[in-house]
Structures are given as structure tokens and as C-alpha cells.
Structure 1
Amino acid sequence: MTTAPAYLDRSRDAITPALRAVVDRLDRKTRHQAAYHFGWVTASGVPASADAGKAVRPALALLSAEAVGAAPEIALPGAIAVELVHNFSLVHDDLMDGDEERRHRHTVWKLWGASSAILTGDAMLALAQEVLLESGLPTAAPAALLLAQTTRHLIRGQVEDVSFEQRSHVAIEECIDMAAGKTGALLSASAAIGAVLAGAPKATVDALALYGEQVGLAFQLTDDVLGIWGDPAVTGKSAHSDLRARKKSLPVSYALNQGDTLSVELAAWLSAPGEPSEGELQRVVGLLSAVGSREWALAEAARRMALAEDALRGVELNADARGELLALGRFVVDREV
């Protein structure tokens, strides 16, 4: 397993005080629920230091400014904004997926109900735009536009993901396009927004955006593997969490498109009603393993990471920041799978 780049800790330390200050603007109830989600307090409001995630997206935002020769501080509004959008999506995803735990703690909807989770997520999304637009930078409007467009693509990807639940067959290309919206769009924006705020040339911004998009696809492929084969002690979710929800994730889509008897059996199981038994889940894991779904997903993740690295080599960037970006991308792909 690749060790987490030290830059992740440095970027989290850089954004956390400002992120806390922004969240403090919310009304008392929403502020409490958002702070709980971020791991800053317990459900009863006692200060805590729970796992708040790796903060990959704000790290990318800060690095993208450094990559174009600007001080990372210029990207701080962008770093806070992408982290807020990311967590808006997580709070809503947990509700839509029925996930009762995230990072070994109850989710917001599980503790306070669906309406509270929706409103808390919405508040985070509103704060993201507020932070960018009040920054006073001459590039604030283009950055805010990028984030708004990104949020639209993220929601499109989520809509497609939900729609797949009602279909018996999903092509791999459709699944990749869904992941490009649901995950790739925000990582793409994260890798570009610092450069946008720094006023970098379009070609450089586009290269960083492409890097982030491909890292995002690699991230989703790896995450889908973890959702099936991941260790609950590492992922913080129940074993076979994606299969329990009968999700047509990328490894599942690959298996469905193999056109053999195993694919037919898998499609029938995905369409079946009710909560799957442990025996069923083990049987499905065996089907996926038999057609090489895990190996395909990990190989495709590595291919996407190679495309991301090629994008960074195609433009002039600060050498140290480029190295940090490469290390961060490899860490995303090489998680414990």
C-alpha cells in the first residue's frame, strides 16, 4: 500500500481553520450536523477528532496554484469550496444509498433524518459558492462558474447512477460516463481551480483539469473494487456494501458485458427484489471474480492514472508541484485493494 503523501496533512492543516470558520456561519442545528459530518464534534456536540477523510480535493486545489507558480494561499477559497461540494455530495449520497455508517460513525441522515441530511448538504453547497464569490479575486467569477458547472455534472452522474438501478443492463461506456460525472468532474475541477484563481493560461488549466478527470476515474474504479472486495475495517462500510445495494458499479458492469452464462445469472440476481443473504453475496463475489472484474477494474485504474500523468507532462509546471500531483494520484490508485 502506498503511504499517504505528506502534502495531504499539510493541506488539511492549511484549510481546516478556514473551513471551520465558514461552517460556523450556518444556523445552530445545521452547523452542528455539518461539524459532526466533518468529524469535529460528536453527535451530542462534544469536540472530537474523528477521521474527516483524506481531503484529496483541497490538496489538488492548492497544488494546482503552486503548479502554475502561484502561492498556494491564492487557491484557499477554491480548496474550501471543493471540499464543501464534496461533502455536500457525501451527505446526500449516504441518504440515497441508505448507508448508515461513514468512517465508522453513523451518517447524518441516520442520526437526524432525511430532511436534515438534505438541508445540511444544501447548506454546504451554498457556502461553496459564497466562499469563492466573496474572495475578492479578479478570477473569482470564472472559478465560481467552473464550480457551478462541475456541480451540474456531478449531479448528472448521480442521476445516471440512480437510473442504472432500474435497468437490467448497463454498457461499460455508460458506466464510465456516469463515473466521469459523479467522481471525475469534481476531481477535475479541484485540480484546475487553483490555476484558474491564479489566472493561468487556458492550456495549462485544461491539462490540469484532464489530469484530475483521469485521476477521478481511477479513483472511482478503485473505490468500486473496495465496495465489493474491501475490508470493512479499512473502508468504514459494511462488507460488500455496493453489492448489498445491488449497484451496477464498474466491476459489475464489466461482468454484465461479458456475454456468458455467468453474466445472465448476475443480471438476474441484480434484478431480484429484497435484501440479499450472505450466501448470495458470496456467490456474486465468486461470479465477479470468475470473469476477472477485479483485475479489469484495477488495470483500467492504472491506465487512467497513466493518462493523468501524461497530461501533466504536456505543459510547463513547477517541478515540485508536479511531483506532488503525481504522488497524490498514485496514492489514490494504490489504496489498499
Structure 2
Amino acid sequence: MAISDVMTEGRPVPEVLSAGRGLVDPALRTAVDTLPSEMRHVTGYHLGWWDENGRSLREAGGKAIRPAMVLLAAEAAGGRPADAVPAAVAVELVHNFSLLHDDVMDGDVTRRHRPTAWSVFGVGAAILAGDSLLTLALDVLARSGHPAAQQGIRTLAAAVQELVGGQSADLVFETRSDVGLAECLRMAEGKTGALLGCTTALGGAFAGGGPEQVDRLRRFGAQLGLAFQFVDDLLGIWGEPAVTGKPVYSDLQNRKKSMPVVAALTSDTPQGRELATLYYREQPLSGTELVRAAELIDATGARDWSQEQADELLARALRDLAAAGPRPRAGAELAALARLVTRRDR
């Protein structure tokens, strides 16, 4: 079945995200309210609900794309989005668990244009808040009473294990000078692809979708997750701070072995060898050297290659989505969200 056979016109993406937040936010806030007071305070700050002193903010944090994808996957599989709210809440909690820990491990001091939780409340508080969100996610599924809850817990737990494995590999890569491109791709599949694949699979499962349909939705999400990581890696080098909420060249400053970096380092080119000389020395890179490192990555062709990989993965993801036989509107809206998260100016 071709993509054009199942795609129709859906709601504008902002409307889709707003509707998703309208369904998920009340349940998410109810879940977070069950946390110990200190963990609730750190979590609410991280989510953008209030400032460090607990004063309410008008604007919430991220776009909540993952919860929206859970709801749309449920609708795509023939179910009601409302039935998948517990799965959407659980996914959002796990995603933010990973962000809280990721900021600590990377030493990032800004996220979404404001100081990160660890930089405000301390490393220990941020780690514990992340731990609380992970356990809360499983509890939300367990308490839902949904027929798919038990399998959903296993699916989510397996995705978290893959995510942790990918994050662990990412950390190890920072101390190695022999990282290959194939293992870098496996790291990204675990770090990013696993949770997004779980997201769409849970939506399908909570809608009562059959095994083949749920697997197609999982593959759609997993391929999209890897495409997202390619784009995120490009933004980590060349992204505008107004878009990323982080300083320009932040991944280079942190010596991240992102996919364009590893592609350049393993390119066996003069530019790749010059980049290795910069990247593997002990001293921090100056502003001029960061600019030069970015130029060298571009010169090896790694920047163009990364974008080509993202484009191909998006195309494969959309083919899997079409093969899942989604309801037309939900299929169109999932495709629109997929294109959003793989845009360089998202």
C-alpha cells in the first residue's frame, strides 16, 4: 500500500499538539502530584510549570510530541485517543526521566532556554527526580487497569533498558578514540529510537491493535527516532541557540561522538585527521577551534551524509506507517509530526 493511499488531510500540527496536551496534561499533573514534595518541585520546574520558587508560569515546557504520537497511534489503530492517555503519560514521564539524567551527564546548563534542573537544584536532586519519574511511569501503567497495561509495562521497561544501554555507550564513546560508525548507529538506535518505537507501539496496543499492526507502528517510531537523532546531532553542531536552547557548537564543546562527528573522524580524509587532532587533545577547544572543527566535519561530507540518512530514515518510517493501515486522519497527522521532528528548524 502506498503512502498516498492512506494519507489524507489532517489537522494542523499545532492543533494536534494542543489537543494532545489537553488530554494528557491533567493526567500528567495528577500523576506528578503523587511524588514526594521535593521531587514534585524539581519535576514541575523541569516541565516548565513553575519557576525555581514554585511560582506558576504561563508557558509549559516542551512540545509534548511523544504523548501526541501515542494518542495518534491509538487513533491510527482504530481506538479512542482517550483510552491511551495512561500510555501517553507514562511515555512523557520516561522521556523527562531521560532528559533530567542526560543534562547531568552532559553537564548542560540550559534546556528549553532556561537553566537545567541540576544547575538550579543540584545534581543529586535532579538524579532523584529522574528516578522518581521512571518509577512513576510504570505505576501509571499499572494503575490504569487497561487490558494492555501488563504488556505495556514490559514494552516500556524494555525500551528503557535499550535507552540506558545507548546512553551508557554514548558516555563510553567520550573516552574512546576508536569509535566506529556502526556502533555509533547502534548507540543512537538505543538512545533515541527505542523509546520512540515504544511510543507508537504502546498507542497501537492500547487501541487493541493486532500484533502485525503494532509492530509496524513500532518500526515507524523506531526509524523516526533514529532520523530524529541524526537531525538532533546536526543541530548539536550547527543549530541556532534560538532553536535548540543550547549554545552553538555545544556537542563539539562536550566532545560528543555524535554521528556526523564519527562519520568525519572515520572518513580517512585530511580533514578527518585534522579533526582528530583537535578532538582528542586534552585542552578545551577555543571558540576559533570550535568553528574550525565544524568546518572540518562539513568538509568531509559528514554533514550532508547525516542529512541524507535522516531523509532516508524518514521515508522508510513513512512506508512502515502506511503498511500499518492507519485510519486516514491519524495517519496524516502522524506523518506531519514525523516531518516536524526531522526538520532542521523545528
Q: Scaled by the length of structure 2, what TM-score is found?
A: 0.94
1:121 deviates by 0.2
Contact 2:90–2:137, Cα closer than 8 Å, also in 1:
yes
Residue type of the partner of 2:131? D
Aligned runs of 1:17-166 on 2, under 5 Å?
17-166=26-175
Aligned-pair distance for 1:323? 0.7
Larger CA deviation: 49-58 vs 23-32 = 49-58
Q: Deviations over 1:233-271 (max 9, x none)?
A: 111101111000011101101111211122112122221
Partner of 2:249: 240
- Unmatched segments (≥5 aa) in structure 1: none
**2:181 touches 2:262 (CA, 8 Å); kept in 1?**
yes
Q: Which residue of 2 is the match for residue 323 of structure 1?
A: 332
Question: Alignment RMSD, CA only?
Answer: 1.2
Shift of 1:13: 1.9
- In structure 2, relative to structure 1, the CA distance for the partners of 1:51 and 1:273 (3 Å cut) is farther
Displacement of 1:295: 1.3
Amino acid at match of 2:210: P
CA contact (8 A) 1:5 1:327 kept: no
Between 71-80 and 265-274, the greater mean CA deviation after superposition: 265-274
Answer whether contact 2:174 2:256 (CA < 8 A) is retained.
Answer: yes
Greater RCO, 1 or 2 (C-alpha within 8 Å, sep 6+): 2
For residue 226 of structure 1, what is the aligned residue in structure 2? 235
Write out per-residue CA displacement over residues 157-180 of structure 1, whole angstroms, 9 at most, x where no aligned residue: 001101101111222111111111
CA deviations 1:189-231 (Å, max 9, x no partner) are 1111011122211100000000000110110000011100001
Q: Which runs of 4+ in 1 moved over 6 A?
A: none
SS at match of 1:22: helix
Q: Partner amino acid for 1:29? A: E
Q: Out of 267, 275, 281, which is 1:258 matched to? A: 267
- Which residue is equivalent to 2:192? 183
Which segment drifts farther, 77-86 or 160-169? Answer: 160-169
Indicate conservation of the 8 Å contact 2:259/2:306, yes or no: yes
Find 2:226's aligned residue among 214, 217, 224: 217
Question: Which of 309, 313, 334 is matched with 1:300 structurally?
Answer: 309
Indicate if the aligned counterparts of 2:200 and 2:217 stay in contact, CA closer than 8 A: yes
Residue 81 of structure 1: how far off its partner (Å): 0.3
Question: 1:4 Cα shift?
Answer: 4.3
Residues 71 and 85 of structure 2 are in contact (CA less than 8 Å); yes or no, is this contact kept in structure 1? yes
Which residue of structure 1 aligns with residue 284 of structure 2? 275
* Count of matched residue pairs: 335
Distance 1:6 1:173 in 2: 38
TM-score w.r.t. the length of structure 1 is: 0.97
Corresponding residue to 1:167 among 171, 176, 185: 176
How many angstroms apart in 1 are the aligned matches of 2:267 and 2:73? 40
Aligned-partner Cα distance in 2 for 1:50–1:100: 20
Task: Say which of 197, 201, 208 aligns to 1:199.
Answer: 208
